[in-house]
Structures are given as C-alpha cells and as structure tokens.
Structure 1
Amino acid sequence: MYDQYQAIIFDMDGTLVDSGQLHEVGWTQTLNHYQIPIDRPLMRSLAGVPTKRTIEILLDTFGVSATASLDEMNDYKERVVAEVAHQYVKPTALIEVANRYAGVKPISIGTGAYTDEARAIIGHCGIAHLIDHVVGADLVAHPKPAPDTFLRCAQLMGVAPEHCVVFEDSKLGLEAAQRAGMTGIDVLDVLGIENDYFL
C-alpha cells in the first residue's frame, strides 16, 4: 500500500520498536534518583523530545533546582536504558512494512533518541539489517518538531522529501514530517499501534 513512495522513514520508539516500557523504566529511575517529580500525562506528552530538553522542561515546570548537570542526568538515563534494553524492546507490527520494502526502497530511522542508543535498540530487536540509515537527535541542529531529522534521512537516502513517507506515533513527529514536506502516517490512527509509555 506504500508502493507510491520512493523511500520510507520510521520513527523508532513507539513506532517501529515497542520500547515504551523501556523508556518509562529509564525515566522513572532517573527522575527518582535526581528527585524530579514524575507527571505521567506530561511525560507522555513529551514523547520524542530528546532527554536533555525533557529534563529542562521538567525542571522548569516543577520549579525544581537541578542537583546535577544535564550531561550527568542524560548519561545516567542512557546507562539505565542500555542495561535493561534487551529485556523490554521488540518490533511492532510495522516490521511487516520494513520486511516488505527492505532492499526494494531505502529505509531510514529518524528518532529523537541518540544515534548510538537507537542502533543498540534496533540491534536488540534483530532488525538492523533492514535499516539503511539511522539519524538521531545528536546528528541534527534542531530535533523534532523541526524537520531536520527527516530531511537528513531523505538526504542520506538520496530521495526528495516529497517522495518520502514517515511513520510516526507522536504529534511532534507528525509535525516534523509535515514541515519536511513529507507524508506522515499516524501509526495509532492507521495501524492501531499504541506506545505503552506512561499510560
């Protein structure tokens, strides 16, 4: 059903990879460790926002003073996620789309996660061989909802943005796809894939 597009871009967390519980565990341990309140609806609304920016928003929202640097808190969360990722992650139903078009059309992951973390997670899922390029938040000047992530994917694939389709689970990601001039597919609306992240 996606034959009309020349290239495919997947968001990772909550889209191609079921990782909601992984990141909920990572955030819960991190926020408790640094004594930052946890507001589940707020955390869910920040899905796809890079770690450091999420921490900044939380500190500002709750008027809390940071007990450590953003770098230290980011690194702490990354360590937690890396240690337990193998227990939690698995591909979603979108793996069928990836399998269908791998080797037929270029496929990228455009994610708010950092590139190394994303590569590790798709490795745990056993799907790295299906993905041609991975673009994380560390590879662009402005993460989602800016279009940079998806435009970088298109550039790496050698395909014009208007010929790319983006699969996303978050409003920020769908906005980024629209701003990039790409067709955005809301995986919850179209495919019934829901990210079980701070539900």
Structure 2
Amino acid sequence: MFDQYEAIIFDMDGTLVDSGQLHEVAWTETLNQYGIPIDRPLMRSLAGVPTKKTIEILLDKFSLEAPASLDEMNDYKEAVVAKVAQQYVKPTALLEVAERYAGKKPMSVGTGAYTEEARGIIEHCGIGHLLEHIVGADLVANPKPAPDTFLRCAELMGVAPEKCVVFEDSKLGLEAAERAGMVGIDVLESLGIENDYFL
C-alpha cells in the first residue's frame, strides 16, 4: 500500500504508540502537583505540543504565575511517564506497517515528545529495532506545526522529503508534514486509530 514511498515517518503518541492514557495520567498528576487547572478539551487540542510549551499555554490561559521552573515541571512529568509507562503503552495497528517494511525502507519517529522520553516509550513497546531514528522536539529549533521535525527525519534517513510518507493523528502534525513537502496520512481517517487522550 505504501510501496511508492522511499521512507516512512511515524508520529509516536496516538499514532504508532497507543499512549493517550499514559500522558493523560502523567499530565493529571503533574498539573495537580503544581496547582494548574485541567481543561480537558484544551489538553486534547494541545496533543503533540511539547511539554514546556503546553505548560506555558496553560499558565497564560489561566493567568497564573509559574509555580516552578518549566524545567522542573517538565522533569516531573517525564518522571511520572517513566514510572507508569509499562502499564499503559502498546503499539497501535501501525505496527503491521512497520513490521512489513522493516529492513526494506528506512523508518523514523518524528514526535513532539522529547527524544529520551520517546525512546523509553518505544522500548517499552518493544519496537525500537524497527526504527532507524527518533527525532524529538528537543532536537529541532521549531517543533510541529513547523516542518523541522520531519525534515530532520528525512535528512537522517538520506531520503528527499517528497519521497517520504508521514503517519499522524493531529492537525498540527499533518500541517507539519504538508509544510515539509511530504504526504501526510491521518491515521484516524485512514486506519481508525484514535488517540484516547483527554476524550
């Protein structure tokens, strides 16, 4: 089905990995810890936005002073993710695509999560051996919807952007793929994969 592309890029959360509940649990604990209100529709709309940027948006929305540094709050959330990841994460139906093209096409993950956190989640799922590169938000100047994440994946794989296909679950991610000159596939629309994150 995807033979016409030379390389495949997967978003991680809600796309290659079913991790909605993991991040909902981690965010709920983190926001409660720092006294930041939880607005479920807003949180869902921010799926794919890096942690520190999400916190900045929340503080602005609720007109709050930062209760701690962005680094501290980010580290707290990442620690919760690491602590409970095994209970919540598993690959989605896209695992079949990854397994089909393993060794035949280069494959990468381009995610709004930070690279170390993403690597841990992917290892918990047992799919790290299928992927050549993981590009997190900390490895690019501008995260999604900027095209930087996916362009970096293409560069690392040595494939022209227009010859890459991107699997995504978020509007921000699909916009990033389009801006990178890549074909973006909406996994909810095409494959029925839904991110169960603050539904």
- Shared fold (TM-score, shorter chain, > 0.5): yes
Matched residues in 1 for 2:32 and 2:119: separation?
Answer: 27
Query: Equivalent residue for 2:41?
Result: 41
Matched residues in 2 for 1:102 and 1:112: separation?
Answer: 23
State percent identity of aligned pairs.
83
Query: Equivalent residue for 2:191?
Result: 191
Query: Equivalent residue for 1:78?
Result: 78
Q: Matched residue of 1:13: which SS? A: coil
Query: Equivalent residue for 2:101?
Result: 101
Q: Matched residue of 2:193: which SS? A: coil
Over residues 7-44 of structure 1, what are the superposed CA-to-partner deviations in whole Å (9 max), with x where a residue is unaligned? 00000000000000000000000000000000000000
Q: How does 1:145-184 map to 2 (within 5 A)?
A: 145-184=145-184
Query: Equivalent residue for 1:2?
Result: 2
Q: Which sections of structure 2, spanning at least 5 residues, go unmatched?
A: none
Query: Equivalent residue for 1:123?
Result: 123
Query: Equivalent residue for 2:141?
Result: 141
Q: Which sections of structure 1, spanning at least 5 residues, go unmatched?
A: none
**How far 1:165 sits from its partner (Å)?**
0.1
TM-score norm. by structure 1 comes to: 0.99
Q: Matched residue of 1:194: which SS? A: coil
Q: Matched residue of 2:151: which SS? A: helix
Matched residues in 2 for 1:54 and 1:17: separation?
Answer: 20
1:27 aligns with 2:38: no
Structure 1 runs (4+) greater than 3 angstroms displaced: none
Matched residues in 1 for 2:143 and 2:25: separation?
Answer: 23
**How far 1:130 sits from its partner (Å)?**
0.3
Counterpart of 2:168, as a letter, is: E
